[in-house]
Amino acid sequence: MMAIWSRFGITEEGKKGSAALDITNEASMIYPIVKFPDPILQRASAPVTEFDDELRKLVADMFESMYAAQGIGLAAPQIGIPKRLTVIDLSNKKEPKDKIVLINPVITLQEGKQVEEEGCLSLPEIREKVRRSARVIVKAQDEYGKWSEREGSELLARAFQHEIDHLDGVLFIFRISALKRDLILRRIRKMQRAGEW
């Protein structure tokens, strides 16, 4: 994990290297997805403070990693980087305008309720109904540091809440009843024992 971390300028050495990084010619890097119960998924991530080419390269790599994993949302801790950064694309690469980058996001309004099935790249094959707000407004920065507000309802509202939860170290299985969670945890342990997790 340290190697990945330093590559994106978190260390002083990494920062020095950023000027030489040519983001237009560098091939995408597909990150492996970190799975539960890795502790990085259950810790709050740190705010993003540097809006540089390395961050923009990381954002591009996160989209490619998400598409490779067939996901519609991916948070930085899911690739081992504990930063408050998430990408969402409900169209799964089909509509360029659907690409959403949320950096240091804050939910400023939530209203209504919706209960739908949810899944997570860090919990493969696990699906469960989760209660979420039906409509949310999120204030966030983009990869250049510019703040804006976005509104989401239905699936987009769900994606916003699911991904922002990741930045706070909360997985969807901690938003369901203890009884259902215990069944899921038992199922995961069984898969671990069988070498299927």
Report, as residue numbers or ranges, the catalytic residues.
163
Is residue 159 at the binding interface for Zn ion, with CB under 5 A as the rule? no
Smallest gap from Cβ 20 to Zn ion, in A, equals: 34
Pairing verdict, β 100-111 and 114-118 = unpaired
Smallest gap from Cβ 134 to Zn ion, in A, equals: 19
Instruction: Using the CB atoms, write b or e for 165-182: b if 16+ within 10 Å.
Output: bbbebbbbbebbeeeebe
C-alpha atoms less than 13 angstroms from C-alpha of 134 in its C-beta half-sphere: 4
Smallest gap from Cβ 13 to Zn ion, in A, equals: 31
Closer to Zn ion by Cβ: residue 7 or 81: 81
Closer to Zn ion by Cβ: residue 9 or 71: 71
Cα–Cα–Cα angle for 103, 175, 135, nearest 5°?
A: 55
Smallest gap from Cβ 125 to Zn ion, in A, equals: 13
Contacts (Cβ under 8 Å, ≥6 apart) of 185: 173
- Is residue 51 within 8 A of residue 144, CB to CB? The reply is yes
Return the residues of window 92-131 that contact Zn ion according to CB under 5 A. Answer: 120
Closer to Zn ion by Cβ: residue 53 or 78: 78
Return the residues of window 3-62 that contact Zn ion according to CB under 5 A. Answer: none
Residue nearest to Zn ion (CB): 120
Closer to Zn ion by Cβ: residue 79 or 103: 79
162: its two tokens: 């699911």
Q: Which residues bind Zn ion (CB under 5 A)?
A: 120
